[in-house]
Amino acid sequence: MTTPFYGSDYDALEQFDPDIAGVLLSELDRLRGGLQLIASENLSSPAVLTALGSTLSNKYAEGYPGRRYYGGCSEVDKAETIAIDRCKALFEADHANVQPHSGASANQAVYGAFMKPGETILSMSLPHGGHLTHGTKMSFSGKWFNAVNYGVDKETEDIDYDEVEALAKEHQPKVILAGGSAIPRLIDFERFRKIADEVGAIFWVDAAHFIGLVAGKAIPSPVPYADVVSFTTHKVLRGPRSGALVCKEEHAKALDRAVFPMMQGGPQMHTIAAKAVNFKECATPEYATYAKQVIANAQQLATSLGEKGIRPTTGGTDTHLSLHDLQGINVTGADAELRADAAGIVLNKNAIPFDPQKPNIASGIRVGSPSVTTQGMGVEEMKQIADLIHKAITEGDGDPDHAVAKEVRAQVTDLVGRFPAYPRG
């Protein structure tokens, strides 16, 4: 039986499988119909999506360019080489590996390259803004390695660098890790580097959240300071859902071997091609302008929410996200997420430092500006969005048919209609 469609021909897909075709259209309608404020999401370009839907998906290519375990890799070798070269140039890095399937896969490779089971890593506490793969007990990282956690200062709510230094001297970790999933402020990479050198540790930065701002030259880069930097390609970077690594030349062989054959088999060549497209996009002046606007929008959104009693932790943000304490308005993170969603606003509940609530309830929300900035919104729209969030979570009840939810959703519809995701035509 021959397949009735090729590549990304939607009409043929709809004819062959209307169920899945319907889901694709429904998701597009969802993106177009609401405010997407998840800090870890963005809207990839049609060029990136075209590469993802290409025939490169068919090719098995275990190994690296010029050193494959399969024949017929001449074309995918070109795609991966282009992606590697563009990644190195974009981040001014000695070496790049573009094969990790995800951020978690990239992180797993770092452990494989530099650590043995039972060795110690010093990383940020998950409740204070870290990540599951940074040593939490429910993750492979916490099951296989000894994780010591630092946190934030109770007054500033920013990283407690004195604690980092004290814990490093006490525990002598093999690796010191900076980065996380809910850190609004810039990280002092130079301070971390000095601490790592004092104890002879590898310095690793997980830049998954903010690497796009680095690519756009909107914030300082960790690359000159870190031994290795892991990141995802789908957040501010605006590429496909995947991961990548850059490192100093001295670590190149160890890191490549940890990605393949230690942690992964065949790479996803269509995704690697999409990364190559994305890296080219990120090297443009237009992207640099975008990255700066992402920060300006996040800062305005944080300020405007704060003026309404939805307090930004650390007093604001230097990046694409802000973390907000809802205790002052007597709403939980879980309730806020539900009420916002009912009104067409997508954000997520999030623990705040020293949170009295359980993680599945949380006392905070995390909001991000990447997607709405991609849609063309600016600081004036952020002020309006803050008004809509406040009204939805303080006056709504989570029922989409509630009068407040309907009122807010109508204003959301008007706003996204003026700044559509994936404009038609």
Cα separations (Å) of 358 from 147, 150, 164, 326, 364? Answer: 21, 20, 25, 14, 11
Q: Which residues are annotated as a binding site for (6S)-5,6,7,8-tetrahydrofolate?
A: 126, 130-132, 249
- Asked if residue 376 has pLDDT above 80, the reply is yes
The fold of the 53-283 domain, in CATH, is Aspartate Aminotransferase; domain 2 (3.40.640)
Residue 241 bears catalytic tag: yes
Q: Which of 62, 119, 188, 407 is catalytic?
A: 62
Radius of gyration of the chain (CA): 22
Q: Which of 136, 232, 271, 314 is catalytic?
A: 232
Distance, in Å, from the CA atom of 273 to the CA atom of 59, rounded to the nearest integer, reads 12
Q: Which of 17, 50, 60, 413 is catalytic?
A: 60
Residue 78 bears catalytic tag: no
Residue 120 bears catalytic tag: no
Please report how the helices 403-418 and 333-342 are oriented relative to each other, as an axis angle in degrees rounded to 10. 70
Neighbours of 37 (CB within 10 A): 23
- Asked if residue 248 has pLDDT above 90, the reply is yes
Residue 206 bears catalytic tag: yes
Q: Which of 68, 86, 174, 235 is catalytic?
A: 235
The mean pLDDT value for 141-154 works out to: 96
- Measuring CA to CA, which residue among 370, 385, 209, 211 is closest to residue 293? 370
Neighbours of 64 (CB within 10 A): 18
Please report how the helices 74-91 and 269-282 are oriented relative to each other, as an axis angle in degrees rounded to 10. 30
Average model confidence (pLDDT) across the chain:
96
Percent of the chain past pLDDT 70, that is, above it, reads 98
Percent of the chain past pLDDT 90, that is, above it, reads 96
Q: Which of 41, 157, 206, 281 is catalytic?
A: 206
H/E stretch holding 63 reads strand 63-64
Distance, in Å, from the CA atom of 392 to the CA atom of 121, rounded to the nearest integer, reads 41
The mean pLDDT value for 377-384 works out to: 98
Residue 235 bears catalytic tag: yes
pLDDT attached to residue 10: 79
| Of 12-16, 308-312, 363-367, the least confident | 12-16
Q: List, in order, residues 6 or more apart from 412 with CB less than 8 Å away.
A: 33, 34, 35, 343, 344, 345, 388
Strands (E), 202-292: 202-206, 228-232, 243-247
Task: Kindly report the backbone phi and psi dihedral angles of residue 59, in degrees, each rounded to the nearest multiple of 5, phi listed first.
Answer: -95, 130
pLDDT in tens, 63-84: 999 999 999 999 999 999 999 9
Domain ranges of the chain: 53-283, 285-418
- Measuring CA to CA, which residue among 271, 204, 205, 282 is closest to residue 236? 282
pLDDT attached to residue 425: 63
The mean pLDDT value for 191-215 works out to: 98
Question: What homologous superfamily is domain 285-418 in, according to CATH?
Answer: Aspartate Aminotransferase, domain 1 (3.90.1150.10)
Distance, in Å, from the CA atom of 363 to the CA atom of 44, rounded to the nearest integer, reads 31
pLDDT attached to residue 6: 39
Largest CA distance in the chain: 67
Cα separations (Å) of 327 from 290, 323, 324, 423? Answer: 33, 13, 9, 38
The mean pLDDT value for 30-50 works out to: 97
- Asked if residue 18 has pLDDT above 50, the reply is yes
- Asked if residue 132 has pLDDT above 60, the reply is yes
Q: Which of 32, 241, 383, 406 is catalytic?
A: 241
Distance, in Å, from the CA atom of 72 to the CA atom of 353, rounded to the nearest integer, reads 52
pLDDT attached to residue 327: 98
pLDDT attached to residue 7: 45
pLDDT attached to residue 8: 55
Q: pLDDT band at 4, cuts 50/70/90?
A: very low
Neighbours of 293 (CB within 10 A): 19
Cα separations (Å) of 194 from 85, 92, 191, 246? Answer: 30, 21, 5, 20
Q: Do residues 282 and 237 touch, judged by C-beta distance below 8 A? A: yes
The mean pLDDT value for 9-33 works out to: 92
pLDDT in tens, 71-127: 999 999 999 999 999 999 999 999 999 999 999 999 999 999 999 999 999 999 999
Residue type at 320? H
Per DSSP, what are the bridge partners of residue 177? Answer: 204
Q: Which residues are annotated as a binding site?
A: 126, 130-132, 249
pLDDT in tens, 312-347: 999 999 999 999 999 999 999 999 999 999 999 999
Q: pLDDT band at 9, cuts 50/70/90?
A: confident
Q: Which two tokens stand for residue 289?
A: 């302008």
pTM summary value: 0.96
The mean pLDDT value for 215-223 works out to: 98
- Asked if residue 5 has pLDDT above 50, the reply is no
Q: Do residues 152 and 128 touch, judged by C-beta distance below 8 A? A: yes
